[in-house]
Structure 1
Amino acid sequence: MVEHRPRGAATAAPAADEPARIDIVGLTKRFLTPKGDTFTAIRDVTLTVEPGQFCAIVGPTGCGKSTTLAQVSGLERPSAGSVSVGGRIVDGITSGVSYMFQADSLFPWKTVLANVMIGPILLGTPKKEATALALDWLRRVGLAGFEDRYPHQLSGGMRKRVAMAAALINNPRILLMDEPFGALDVQTKAIMQTELLTLWEELRPSVLFITHDLDEAVALSDRVVIMTSSPGTVKDVFDIDLPRPRGNVQEIRHEEKFLDIQGRIWESLRDEVTRAYEQTAGAAA
Protein backbone atom coordinates (compact mmCIF):
# COMPACT_ATOMS: atom_id res chain seq x y z
CA MET A 1 0.00 0.00 0.00
CA VAL A 2 1.01 3.67 -0.29
CA GLU A 3 3.01 4.99 2.59
CA HIS A 4 1.50 8.02 4.29
CA ARG A 5 3.61 10.69 5.97
CA PRO A 6 2.48 13.27 8.52
CA ARG A 7 1.71 16.71 7.15
CA GLY A 8 4.84 18.83 7.10
CA ALA A 9 7.24 15.91 7.56
CA ALA A 10 10.64 16.88 6.19
CA THR A 11 13.16 14.83 4.24
CA ALA A 12 16.56 15.72 2.88
CA ALA A 13 16.29 17.32 -0.55
CA PRO A 14 17.82 15.14 -3.29
CA ALA A 15 20.45 16.33 -5.71
CA ALA A 16 19.06 17.92 -8.86
CA ASP A 17 19.74 14.84 -10.99
CA GLU A 18 18.48 12.25 -8.49
CA PRO A 19 14.93 10.88 -8.47
CA ALA A 20 12.72 12.67 -5.98
CA ARG A 21 10.09 11.44 -3.58
CA ILE A 22 6.59 12.84 -4.17
CA ASP A 23 4.32 13.34 -1.15
CA ILE A 24 0.71 14.32 -1.78
CA VAL A 25 -1.22 15.01 1.43
CA GLY A 26 -4.92 15.87 1.66
CA LEU A 27 -4.87 17.42 -1.80
CA THR A 28 -8.08 19.15 -2.89
CA LYS A 29 -8.68 21.26 -5.98
CA ARG A 30 -11.81 23.29 -6.70
CA PHE A 31 -12.71 25.27 -9.81
CA LEU A 32 -15.38 27.81 -10.63
CA THR A 33 -17.70 26.75 -13.44
CA PRO A 34 -18.83 29.23 -16.14
CA LYS A 35 -22.06 29.61 -14.14
CA GLY A 36 -20.14 30.58 -11.04
CA ASP A 37 -20.68 27.31 -9.17
CA THR A 38 -17.87 25.51 -7.35
CA PHE A 39 -16.71 22.22 -8.85
CA THR A 40 -14.47 19.91 -6.81
CA ALA A 41 -12.18 17.99 -9.16
CA ILE A 42 -10.20 16.09 -6.51
CA ARG A 43 -10.75 15.80 -2.77
CA ASP A 44 -8.37 14.72 -0.02
CA VAL A 45 -5.94 12.87 -2.29
CA THR A 46 -3.09 11.37 -0.27
CA LEU A 47 -0.34 9.21 -1.75
CA THR A 48 3.41 8.83 -1.94
CA VAL A 49 5.68 7.97 -4.86
CA GLU A 50 9.07 6.75 -3.72
CA PRO A 51 12.26 7.95 -5.46
CA GLY A 52 12.70 6.10 -8.74
CA GLN A 53 9.29 4.44 -8.54
CA PHE A 54 6.98 4.07 -11.54
CA CYS A 55 3.44 4.83 -10.36
CA ALA A 56 0.39 4.69 -12.63
CA ILE A 57 -2.91 6.41 -11.86
CA VAL A 58 -6.07 4.96 -13.38
CA GLY A 59 -9.68 5.93 -12.96
CA PRO A 60 -12.79 6.90 -14.89
CA THR A 61 -12.90 9.93 -17.15
CA GLY A 62 -13.19 13.16 -15.16
CA CYS A 63 -11.86 11.77 -11.89
CA GLY A 64 -9.07 14.34 -11.60
CA LYS A 65 -6.04 12.39 -12.78
CA SER A 66 -4.66 15.23 -14.91
CA THR A 67 -5.51 17.74 -12.17
CA THR A 68 -3.34 15.76 -9.76
CA LEU A 69 -0.39 15.91 -12.18
CA ALA A 70 -0.84 19.66 -12.58
CA GLN A 71 -0.52 20.08 -8.80
CA VAL A 72 2.72 18.05 -8.72
CA SER A 73 4.22 20.10 -11.56
CA GLY A 74 3.28 23.37 -9.89
CA LEU A 75 1.24 24.51 -12.90
CA GLU A 76 -1.77 24.82 -10.57
CA ARG A 77 -2.11 25.62 -6.88
CA PRO A 78 -4.11 23.39 -4.53
CA SER A 79 -7.30 24.60 -2.87
CA ALA A 80 -6.35 22.56 0.20
CA GLY A 81 -3.65 20.11 1.18
CA SER A 82 -0.10 20.05 -0.11
CA VAL A 83 2.36 18.50 -2.53
CA SER A 84 6.02 18.02 -1.61
CA VAL A 85 8.81 17.02 -3.98
CA GLY A 86 12.06 15.92 -2.41
CA GLY A 87 10.85 17.16 0.97
CA ARG A 88 10.02 20.68 -0.26
CA ILE A 89 6.53 22.06 -0.59
CA VAL A 90 5.55 22.82 -4.19
CA ASP A 91 4.66 26.52 -4.36
CA GLY A 92 5.64 27.25 -7.95
CA ILE A 93 6.93 25.40 -11.01
CA THR A 94 8.69 22.30 -9.74
CA SER A 95 12.34 22.05 -10.76
CA GLY A 96 13.67 18.91 -12.38
CA VAL A 97 10.29 17.88 -13.82
CA SER A 98 9.55 16.79 -17.39
CA TYR A 99 5.99 16.56 -18.70
CA MET A 100 4.81 14.36 -21.57
CA PHE A 101 1.25 14.85 -22.85
CA GLN A 102 -1.12 12.81 -25.00
CA ALA A 103 -1.26 15.51 -27.67
CA ASP A 104 1.91 16.33 -29.58
CA SER A 105 3.74 19.08 -27.72
CA LEU A 106 6.43 19.65 -30.34
CA PHE A 107 7.08 22.99 -32.01
CA PRO A 108 5.92 22.44 -35.62
CA TRP A 109 8.28 25.09 -37.03
CA LYS A 110 11.38 23.49 -35.46
CA THR A 111 13.27 20.48 -36.71
CA VAL A 112 13.43 17.24 -34.73
CA LEU A 113 16.92 18.15 -33.53
CA ALA A 114 15.88 21.67 -32.50
CA ASN A 115 12.89 20.33 -30.57
CA VAL A 116 15.03 17.94 -28.54
CA MET A 117 17.66 20.63 -27.88
CA ILE A 118 15.20 23.06 -26.30
CA GLY A 119 15.52 21.71 -22.76
CA PRO A 120 19.32 21.87 -22.50
CA ILE A 121 19.41 25.27 -24.21
CA LEU A 122 16.90 26.71 -21.72
CA LEU A 123 19.06 25.36 -18.90
CA GLY A 124 22.08 27.25 -20.26
CA THR A 125 23.90 24.40 -21.98
CA PRO A 126 26.23 25.68 -24.74
CA LYS A 127 24.79 25.06 -28.20
CA LYS A 128 27.56 22.69 -29.30
CA GLU A 129 27.12 20.54 -26.21
CA ALA A 130 23.32 20.64 -26.47
CA THR A 131 23.52 19.55 -30.11
CA ALA A 132 25.73 16.58 -29.25
CA LEU A 133 23.43 15.61 -26.40
CA ALA A 134 20.33 15.84 -28.60
CA LEU A 135 21.96 13.78 -31.33
CA ASP A 136 22.79 11.09 -28.79
CA TRP A 137 19.20 11.02 -27.51
CA LEU A 138 17.79 10.79 -31.03
CA ARG A 139 20.06 7.79 -31.56
CA ARG A 140 18.81 6.24 -28.32
CA VAL A 141 15.17 6.54 -29.40
CA GLY A 142 15.88 5.19 -32.89
CA LEU A 143 15.68 8.44 -34.84
CA ALA A 144 19.27 8.89 -36.02
CA GLY A 145 19.08 10.30 -39.54
CA PHE A 146 15.84 12.19 -38.92
CA GLU A 147 17.42 15.23 -37.27
CA ASP A 148 16.46 17.67 -40.02
CA ARG A 149 12.84 16.53 -40.39
CA TYR A 150 9.88 18.51 -39.08
CA PRO A 151 7.12 17.02 -36.89
CA HIS A 152 4.57 16.93 -39.73
CA GLN A 153 6.96 14.73 -41.70
CA LEU A 154 6.96 12.01 -39.02
CA SER A 155 4.53 9.25 -38.10
CA GLY A 156 2.67 9.39 -34.79
CA GLY A 157 5.04 6.91 -33.20
CA MET A 158 8.09 8.83 -34.39
CA ARG A 159 6.70 12.06 -32.97
CA LYS A 160 6.26 10.27 -29.64
CA ARG A 161 9.91 9.22 -29.79
CA VAL A 162 10.91 12.85 -30.29
CA ALA A 163 8.72 13.89 -27.35
CA MET A 164 10.25 11.16 -25.20
CA ALA A 165 13.78 12.25 -26.06
CA ALA A 166 12.85 15.86 -25.28
CA ALA A 167 11.36 14.79 -21.92
CA LEU A 168 14.34 12.68 -20.85
CA ILE A 169 17.29 14.64 -22.21
CA ASN A 170 17.57 16.76 -19.04
CA ASN A 171 17.67 13.64 -16.82
CA PRO A 172 14.58 14.73 -14.85
CA ARG A 173 14.02 13.88 -11.19
CA ILE A 174 10.33 13.43 -11.96
CA LEU A 175 8.61 12.40 -15.18
CA LEU A 176 4.92 13.25 -15.46
CA MET A 177 3.10 11.43 -18.27
CA ASP A 178 -0.51 12.21 -19.11
CA GLU A 179 -1.82 9.43 -21.39
CA PRO A 180 1.27 9.80 -23.62
CA PHE A 181 0.44 6.81 -25.83
CA GLY A 182 -3.34 7.10 -25.81
CA ALA A 183 -3.64 8.21 -29.44
CA LEU A 184 -1.37 5.50 -30.89
CA ASP A 185 -2.46 2.30 -32.58
CA VAL A 186 -2.09 -0.92 -30.57
CA GLN A 187 1.11 -2.10 -32.25
CA THR A 188 2.89 1.25 -32.02
CA LYS A 189 1.76 1.68 -28.42
CA ALA A 190 3.32 -1.66 -27.44
CA ILE A 191 6.63 -0.66 -29.04
CA MET A 192 6.63 2.72 -27.28
CA GLN A 193 5.83 1.14 -23.91
CA THR A 194 8.80 -1.20 -24.23
CA GLU A 195 11.08 1.65 -25.29
CA LEU A 196 9.90 3.78 -22.37
CA LEU A 197 10.72 1.03 -19.88
CA THR A 198 14.19 0.56 -21.40
CA LEU A 199 14.99 4.28 -21.08
CA TRP A 200 13.41 4.54 -17.62
CA GLU A 201 15.59 1.66 -16.40
CA GLU A 202 18.65 3.70 -17.39
CA LEU A 203 17.65 6.97 -15.69
CA ARG A 204 15.12 5.85 -13.04
CA PRO A 205 13.23 9.14 -12.50
CA SER A 206 10.16 9.02 -10.29
CA VAL A 207 7.19 8.60 -12.65
CA LEU A 208 3.52 9.51 -12.37
CA PHE A 209 1.80 7.97 -15.37
CA ILE A 210 -1.87 8.56 -16.21
CA THR A 211 -3.67 6.06 -18.40
CA HIS A 212 -7.12 4.66 -19.13
CA ASP A 213 -5.50 1.41 -20.25
CA LEU A 214 -5.36 -0.98 -17.29
CA ASP A 215 -3.09 -3.43 -19.12
CA GLU A 216 -0.67 -0.58 -19.78
CA ALA A 217 -0.70 0.46 -16.13
CA VAL A 218 0.10 -3.04 -14.89
CA ALA A 219 2.75 -3.74 -17.54
CA LEU A 220 4.71 -0.56 -16.85
CA SER A 221 4.31 0.19 -13.16
CA ASP A 222 5.60 -0.69 -9.72
CA ARG A 223 2.36 0.59 -8.23
CA VAL A 224 -1.13 1.31 -9.55
CA VAL A 225 -3.39 3.87 -7.87
CA ILE A 226 -7.15 3.67 -8.42
CA MET A 227 -9.07 6.94 -8.21
CA THR A 228 -12.78 7.22 -7.57
CA SER A 229 -15.30 8.87 -9.84
CA SER A 230 -15.68 12.64 -9.43
CA PRO A 231 -14.67 14.13 -7.11
CA GLY A 232 -11.56 12.00 -7.39
CA THR A 233 -9.76 10.58 -4.40
CA VAL A 234 -7.58 7.51 -3.83
CA LYS A 235 -9.69 4.36 -3.56
CA ASP A 236 -7.09 1.57 -3.72
CA VAL A 237 -3.38 1.07 -4.26
CA PHE A 238 -1.88 -2.09 -5.74
CA ASP A 239 1.79 -3.05 -5.70
CA ILE A 240 2.76 -4.74 -8.97
CA ASP A 241 4.89 -7.73 -8.07
CA LEU A 242 6.30 -8.44 -11.52
CA PRO A 243 10.08 -8.79 -11.93
CA ARG A 244 12.19 -6.15 -13.62
CA PRO A 245 13.47 -5.64 -16.22
CA ARG A 246 10.24 -6.65 -17.94
CA GLY A 247 11.43 -6.79 -21.52
CA ASN A 248 8.67 -6.86 -24.11
CA VAL A 249 5.49 -5.62 -22.44
CA GLN A 250 3.32 -7.28 -25.08
CA GLU A 251 4.59 -10.70 -24.01
CA ILE A 252 4.15 -10.33 -20.24
CA ARG A 253 0.44 -9.55 -20.71
CA HIS A 254 -0.18 -13.22 -21.35
CA GLU A 255 1.52 -14.43 -18.16
CA GLU A 256 -0.67 -15.91 -15.45
CA LYS A 257 0.64 -13.57 -12.75
CA PHE A 258 -0.06 -10.53 -14.90
CA LEU A 259 -3.62 -11.67 -15.56
CA ASP A 260 -4.20 -12.28 -11.85
CA ILE A 261 -3.01 -8.77 -10.90
CA GLN A 262 -4.98 -7.17 -13.71
CA GLY A 263 -8.13 -9.00 -12.65
CA ARG A 264 -7.86 -7.87 -9.03
CA ILE A 265 -7.34 -4.25 -10.04
CA TRP A 266 -10.27 -4.38 -12.46
CA GLU A 267 -12.55 -5.52 -9.63
CA SER A 268 -11.79 -2.23 -7.87
CA LEU A 269 -11.85 -0.05 -10.98
CA ARG A 270 -15.05 -1.46 -12.49
CA ASP A 271 -17.35 0.05 -9.86
CA GLU A 272 -15.86 3.51 -10.39
CA VAL A 273 -16.15 3.31 -14.17
CA THR A 274 -19.79 2.22 -13.85
CA ARG A 275 -20.56 4.99 -11.36
CA ALA A 276 -18.95 7.64 -13.58
CA TYR A 277 -20.94 6.45 -16.58
CA GLU A 278 -24.18 6.60 -14.63
CA GLN A 279 -23.35 10.14 -13.45
CA THR A 280 -22.71 11.42 -16.98
CA ALA A 281 -25.69 9.55 -18.43
CA GLY A 282 -27.94 11.04 -15.75
CA ALA A 283 -26.62 14.54 -16.41
CA ALA A 284 -27.29 14.16 -20.13
CA ALA A 285 -30.84 12.89 -19.64
Structure 2
Amino acid sequence: MHMDAHFAHRPPADRVRVDEAAGIDIRGLTKRYLTPKGETFTAIQDVTLTVEPGQFCAIVGPTGCGKSTTLAQISGLERPSAGSVRVRDQIVDGVTSGVSYMFQADALFPWKTVLDNVSIGPVLLGTPKREATTLAMDWLRRVGLTGFEDRFPHQLSGGMRKRVAMAAALINNPRILLMDEPFGALDVQTKAIMQNELLHLWEELRPSVLFITHDLDEAVALSDRVVIMTSSPGTIKDVFDIDLPRPRGNVQQIRHEKRFLEIQSRIWESLKDEVTRAYEQTAGSAA
Protein backbone atom coordinates (compact mmCIF):
# COMPACT_ATOMS: atom_id res chain seq x y z
CA MET A 1 0.00 0.00 0.00
CA HIS A 2 1.35 3.42 -0.94
CA MET A 3 1.25 6.30 1.52
CA ASP A 4 -1.30 8.10 -0.68
CA ALA A 5 -3.72 5.23 -0.19
CA HIS A 6 -2.99 4.89 3.51
CA PHE A 7 -3.77 8.55 4.17
CA ALA A 8 -6.60 8.82 1.66
CA HIS A 9 -9.06 9.76 4.42
CA ARG A 10 -6.89 12.64 5.65
CA PRO A 11 -6.51 16.16 4.22
CA PRO A 12 -3.09 16.99 2.75
CA ALA A 13 -0.29 17.19 5.31
CA ASP A 14 0.42 20.88 4.77
CA ARG A 15 -3.19 21.74 5.66
CA VAL A 16 -3.60 19.71 8.84
CA ARG A 17 -0.37 18.82 10.52
CA VAL A 18 0.10 22.08 12.42
CA ASP A 19 -3.48 21.82 13.70
CA GLU A 20 -2.95 18.19 14.67
CA ALA A 21 0.36 18.96 16.34
CA ALA A 22 0.25 19.67 20.05
CA GLY A 23 1.60 22.79 21.65
CA ILE A 24 3.74 22.44 24.77
CA ASP A 25 3.29 24.88 27.64
CA ILE A 26 5.78 24.63 30.53
CA ARG A 27 5.22 26.85 33.57
CA GLY A 28 7.52 27.18 36.58
CA LEU A 29 8.84 23.65 36.10
CA THR A 30 11.18 22.46 38.85
CA LYS A 31 12.61 18.97 39.37
CA ARG A 32 14.52 17.87 42.45
CA TYR A 33 16.16 14.52 43.14
CA LEU A 34 17.58 12.87 46.21
CA THR A 35 21.25 11.98 45.84
CA PRO A 36 22.63 8.67 47.15
CA LYS A 37 23.82 10.65 50.19
CA GLY A 38 20.27 11.77 50.91
CA GLU A 39 20.87 15.35 49.79
CA THR A 40 18.50 17.28 47.53
CA PHE A 41 19.75 18.08 44.03
CA THR A 42 17.82 20.57 41.88
CA ALA A 43 18.18 19.63 38.22
CA ILE A 44 15.93 22.30 36.75
CA GLN A 45 14.35 25.31 38.43
CA ASP A 46 11.44 27.51 37.38
CA VAL A 47 11.61 26.57 33.68
CA THR A 48 8.95 28.41 31.66
CA LEU A 49 8.77 27.72 27.93
CA THR A 50 6.16 27.52 25.17
CA VAL A 51 6.52 25.47 21.99
CA GLU A 52 3.85 26.39 19.47
CA PRO A 53 2.03 23.62 17.54
CA GLY A 54 4.21 22.47 14.64
CA GLN A 55 7.23 24.45 15.84
CA PHE A 56 10.80 23.11 15.79
CA CYS A 57 12.46 24.22 19.03
CA ALA A 58 16.04 23.39 20.05
CA ILE A 59 17.42 23.51 23.58
CA VAL A 60 21.12 24.21 23.97
CA GLY A 61 23.10 24.41 27.18
CA PRO A 62 26.13 23.06 29.02
CA THR A 63 26.35 19.44 30.12
CA GLY A 64 24.25 18.78 33.21
CA CYS A 65 21.95 21.77 32.81
CA GLY A 66 18.77 19.68 32.87
CA LYS A 67 17.90 19.50 29.18
CA SER A 68 17.08 15.78 29.28
CA THR A 69 15.23 16.22 32.58
CA THR A 70 12.97 18.74 30.87
CA LEU A 71 12.10 16.25 28.13
CA ALA A 72 11.30 13.60 30.73
CA GLN A 73 8.70 15.90 32.30
CA ILE A 74 7.05 16.56 28.93
CA SER A 75 6.87 12.87 28.08
CA GLY A 76 5.35 12.08 31.45
CA LEU A 77 8.13 9.63 32.28
CA GLU A 78 8.82 11.73 35.38
CA ARG A 79 6.67 13.96 37.57
CA PRO A 80 7.67 17.55 38.35
CA SER A 81 8.54 18.65 41.87
CA ALA A 82 6.86 21.99 41.17
CA GLY A 83 5.24 23.73 38.24
CA SER A 84 3.35 22.16 35.37
CA VAL A 85 3.54 20.88 31.81
CA ARG A 86 0.55 21.14 29.50
CA VAL A 87 0.20 19.45 26.13
CA ARG A 88 -2.73 20.68 24.06
CA ASP A 89 -4.03 22.46 27.18
CA GLN A 90 -4.09 19.23 29.19
CA ILE A 91 -1.91 18.82 32.29
CA VAL A 92 0.66 16.05 31.81
CA ASP A 93 -0.13 13.56 34.54
CA GLY A 94 1.26 10.27 33.26
CA VAL A 95 2.73 9.12 29.97
CA THR A 96 1.76 11.63 27.28
CA SER A 97 -0.08 10.21 24.28
CA GLY A 98 0.98 11.18 20.77
CA VAL A 99 4.65 11.55 21.74
CA SER A 100 7.64 9.87 20.10
CA TYR A 101 11.16 9.91 21.52
CA MET A 102 14.57 9.69 19.81
CA PHE A 103 17.62 9.22 22.03
CA GLN A 104 21.33 9.51 21.38
CA ALA A 105 21.63 5.76 21.95
CA ASP A 106 19.73 3.67 19.42
CA ALA A 107 16.56 2.52 21.16
CA LEU A 108 16.16 -0.48 18.85
CA PHE A 109 15.43 -4.08 19.78
CA PRO A 110 18.63 -5.94 18.80
CA TRP A 111 16.81 -9.27 18.36
CA LYS A 112 14.23 -7.82 15.94
CA THR A 113 14.71 -7.11 12.26
CA VAL A 114 14.67 -3.61 10.85
CA LEU A 115 11.13 -4.17 9.59
CA ASP A 116 9.89 -5.43 12.95
CA ASN A 117 11.55 -2.54 14.80
CA VAL A 118 9.69 -0.02 12.66
CA SER A 119 6.33 -1.81 12.61
CA ILE A 120 6.16 -2.48 16.35
CA GLY A 121 4.72 0.96 17.14
CA PRO A 122 1.61 0.63 14.96
CA VAL A 123 1.15 -2.98 16.14
CA LEU A 124 1.16 -1.89 19.78
CA LEU A 125 -1.42 0.76 18.92
CA GLY A 126 -3.72 -1.89 17.48
CA THR A 127 -2.94 -1.72 13.76
CA PRO A 128 -3.37 -5.13 12.08
CA LYS A 129 0.00 -6.82 11.48
CA ARG A 130 -0.30 -6.82 7.69
CA GLU A 131 -1.19 -3.13 7.55
CA ALA A 132 1.60 -2.27 10.03
CA THR A 133 4.09 -4.19 7.88
CA THR A 134 2.98 -2.35 4.74
CA LEU A 135 3.26 0.98 6.51
CA ALA A 136 6.71 0.10 7.87
CA MET A 137 7.89 -0.90 4.39
CA ASP A 138 6.84 2.50 3.10
CA TRP A 139 8.61 4.31 5.93
CA LEU A 140 11.79 2.35 5.26
CA ARG A 141 11.54 3.51 1.65
CA ARG A 142 11.15 7.10 2.83
CA VAL A 143 14.33 6.93 4.92
CA GLY A 144 16.29 5.14 2.19
CA LEU A 145 16.42 1.63 3.65
CA THR A 146 14.50 -0.40 1.10
CA GLY A 147 16.27 -3.76 0.81
CA PHE A 148 17.40 -3.76 4.46
CA GLU A 149 14.11 -4.95 5.95
CA ASP A 150 15.48 -8.30 7.11
CA ARG A 151 18.72 -6.99 8.62
CA PHE A 152 19.29 -6.75 12.35
CA PRO A 153 20.51 -3.52 14.00
CA HIS A 154 24.05 -4.86 14.55
CA GLN A 155 24.35 -5.40 10.79
CA LEU A 156 23.82 -1.69 10.05
CA SER A 157 26.05 1.36 10.19
CA GLY A 158 25.42 4.05 12.80
CA GLY A 159 23.71 6.28 10.26
CA MET A 160 21.48 3.46 9.05
CA ARG A 161 20.45 2.66 12.62
CA LYS A 162 19.49 6.32 13.04
CA ARG A 163 17.33 6.03 9.92
CA VAL A 164 15.57 3.04 11.45
CA ALA A 165 15.07 4.94 14.71
CA MET A 166 13.68 7.93 12.82
CA ALA A 167 11.23 5.78 10.90
CA ALA A 168 10.15 4.09 14.14
CA ALA A 169 9.65 7.49 15.79
CA LEU A 170 7.63 9.01 12.95
CA ILE A 171 5.55 6.06 11.73
CA ASN A 172 2.80 6.79 14.26
CA ASN A 173 2.49 10.43 13.11
CA PRO A 174 3.36 11.83 16.55
CA ARG A 175 2.00 15.21 17.55
CA ILE A 176 5.20 15.78 19.56
CA LEU A 177 8.69 14.56 18.74
CA LEU A 178 11.22 14.70 21.59
CA MET A 179 14.81 14.33 20.41
CA ASP A 180 17.67 13.98 22.90
CA GLU A 181 20.95 14.48 21.02
CA PRO A 182 19.84 11.97 18.38
CA PHE A 183 22.80 12.62 16.04
CA GLY A 184 25.47 13.30 18.65
CA ALA A 185 27.39 10.07 18.08
CA LEU A 186 27.53 10.30 14.28
CA ASP A 187 30.45 11.46 12.14
CA VAL A 188 30.17 14.90 10.58
CA GLN A 189 29.14 13.73 7.11
CA THR A 190 26.52 11.27 8.31
CA LYS A 191 25.20 13.82 10.80
CA ALA A 192 24.60 16.34 8.00
CA ILE A 193 22.74 13.73 5.96
CA MET A 194 20.52 12.86 8.92
CA GLN A 195 19.82 16.53 9.65
CA ASN A 196 18.65 17.04 6.06
CA GLU A 197 16.55 13.87 6.30
CA LEU A 198 14.94 15.07 9.52
CA LEU A 199 14.13 18.49 8.06
CA HIS A 200 12.51 16.90 5.02
CA LEU A 201 10.32 14.60 7.11
CA TRP A 202 9.44 17.35 9.60
CA GLU A 203 8.37 19.66 6.77
CA GLU A 204 6.06 16.91 5.58
CA LEU A 205 4.52 15.89 8.91
CA ARG A 206 5.00 19.01 11.06
CA PRO A 207 4.96 17.61 14.59
CA SER A 208 6.03 19.90 17.40
CA VAL A 209 9.71 19.15 18.00
CA LEU A 210 11.82 19.70 21.09
CA PHE A 211 15.41 18.95 20.08
CA ILE A 212 18.28 18.77 22.57
CA THR A 213 21.78 19.28 21.25
CA HIS A 214 25.22 20.50 22.28
CA ASP A 215 25.87 21.59 18.69
CA LEU A 216 24.88 25.24 18.28
CA ASP A 217 25.24 25.11 14.49
CA GLU A 218 22.84 22.16 14.41
CA ALA A 219 20.34 24.01 16.60
CA VAL A 220 20.33 27.10 14.39
CA ALA A 221 20.20 25.18 11.11
CA LEU A 222 17.21 23.07 12.11
CA SER A 223 15.08 25.23 14.36
CA ASP A 224 12.46 27.95 14.43
CA ARG A 225 13.53 28.82 17.97
CA VAL A 226 16.67 28.18 20.04
CA VAL A 227 16.46 28.13 23.83
CA ILE A 228 19.54 28.62 26.01
CA MET A 229 19.56 26.93 29.41
CA THR A 230 21.79 28.01 32.27
CA SER A 231 24.30 25.82 34.03
CA SER A 232 22.95 23.74 36.93
CA PRO A 233 20.33 24.22 38.17
CA GLY A 234 18.98 24.65 34.67
CA THR A 235 16.54 27.40 33.82
CA ILE A 236 15.77 29.40 30.69
CA LYS A 237 18.32 32.15 30.07
CA ASP A 238 17.44 33.31 26.54
CA VAL A 239 15.13 32.45 23.68
CA PHE A 240 16.10 33.29 20.10
CA ASP A 241 13.75 33.19 17.11
CA ILE A 242 15.49 31.89 13.98
CA ASP A 243 14.32 33.81 10.93
CA LEU A 244 16.10 31.71 8.30
CA PRO A 245 13.60 30.98 5.50
CA ARG A 246 12.01 27.56 5.06
CA PRO A 247 12.22 25.07 3.56
CA ARG A 248 15.91 24.70 4.38
CA GLY A 249 17.21 22.27 1.82
CA ASN A 250 20.80 21.65 2.87
CA VAL A 251 22.18 22.33 6.33
CA GLN A 252 25.76 22.35 5.06
CA GLN A 253 24.98 25.23 2.70
CA ILE A 254 22.92 27.10 5.29
CA ARG A 255 25.89 27.22 7.67
CA HIS A 256 27.86 29.40 5.25
CA GLU A 257 25.13 31.99 4.75
CA LYS A 258 25.63 35.47 6.19
CA ARG A 259 22.37 35.50 8.16
CA PHE A 260 23.16 32.09 9.70
CA LEU A 261 26.56 33.33 10.88
CA GLU A 262 25.01 36.47 12.38
CA ILE A 263 22.44 34.47 14.33
CA GLN A 264 24.96 31.85 15.45
CA SER A 265 27.32 34.52 16.72
CA ARG A 266 24.57 36.30 18.68
CA ILE A 267 23.44 33.07 20.36
CA TRP A 268 26.99 32.03 21.16
CA GLU A 269 27.48 35.26 23.12
CA SER A 270 24.74 34.05 25.46
CA LEU A 271 25.75 30.39 25.51
CA LYS A 272 29.49 30.76 26.07
CA ASP A 273 29.05 32.26 29.54
CA GLU A 274 27.03 29.23 30.64
CA VAL A 275 29.51 26.78 29.15
CA THR A 276 32.37 28.57 30.93
CA ARG A 277 30.46 28.64 34.23
CA ALA A 278 29.63 24.93 34.00
CA TYR A 279 33.26 24.09 33.27
CA GLU A 280 34.44 26.12 36.27
CA GLN A 281 31.90 24.38 38.50
CA THR A 282 33.01 20.89 37.48
CA ALA A 283 36.69 21.82 37.54
CA GLY A 284 36.25 23.23 41.03
CA SER A 285 34.44 20.15 42.32
CA ALA A 286 37.08 17.89 40.76
CA ALA A 287 39.81 19.83 42.52
Using the size of structure 2 for normalisation, the TM-score is: 0.94
Instruction: State the AA in 2 paired with 1:63.
Output: C
SS at match of 1:132: helix
Instruction: State the AA in 1 paired with 2:94.
Output: G
Selected match of 1:142 from 137, 141, 144? 144
Task: Tell me how far apart the structure 2 counterparts of residues 46 and 22 of structure 1 sit (CA, whole Å).
Answer: 11
Q: For residue 173 of structure 2, what is the aligned residue in structure 1?
A: 171
Q: For residue 257 of structure 1, what is the aligned residue in structure 2?
A: 259
**Gapped runs of 5+ residues in structure 2?**
1-15
SS at match of 1:81: strand
Q: For residue 193 of structure 1, what is the aligned residue in structure 2?
A: 195
Query: Are 2:86 and 1:84 equivalent residues in the alignment?
Result: yes
Q: C-alpha deviations, 1:70-114, integer Å up to 9, x for none?
A: 000000000000000000000000000000000010000000000
Query: Are 2:129 and 1:124 equivalent residues in the alignment?
Result: no
Q: C-alpha deviations, 1:38-86, integer Å up to 9, x for none?
A: 0000000000000000000000000000000000000000000000000
Selected match of 1:243 from 238, 242, 245? 245
Instruction: State the AA in 1 paired with 2:180.
Output: D
Shift in Å at residue 18 of structure 1? 1.2
SS at match of 1:280: helix
Instruction: State the AA in 2 paired with 1:96.
Output: G
Task: Tell me how far apart the structure 2 counterparts of residues 84 and 239 of structure 1 sit (CA, whole Å).
Answer: 22
Selected match of 1:52 from 51, 54, 59? 54
Selected match of 2:34 from 19, 32, 35? 32
State the number of aligned residues.
Answer: 272
Task: Tell me how far apart the structure 1 counterparts of residues 254 and 30 of structure 2 sit (CA, whole Å).
Answer: 36
Moved over 6 A (4+): none
Selected match of 1:274 from 262, 273, 276? 276
Q: For residue 155 of structure 2, what is the aligned residue in structure 1?
A: 153
Task: Tell me how far apart the structure 1 counterparts of residues 25 and 195 of structure 2 sit (CA, whole Å).
Answer: 26
Selected match of 1:65 from 64, 67, 72? 67
**Gapped runs of 5+ residues in structure 1?**
1-13
Task: Tell me how far apart the structure 2 counterparts of residues 278 and 167 of structure 1 sit (CA, whole Å).
Answer: 37
Instruction: State the AA in 2 paired with 1:248.
Output: N
Q: Percent identity?
A: 88
Q: C-alpha deviations, 1:201-228, integer Å up to 9, x for none?
A: 0000000000000000000000000000
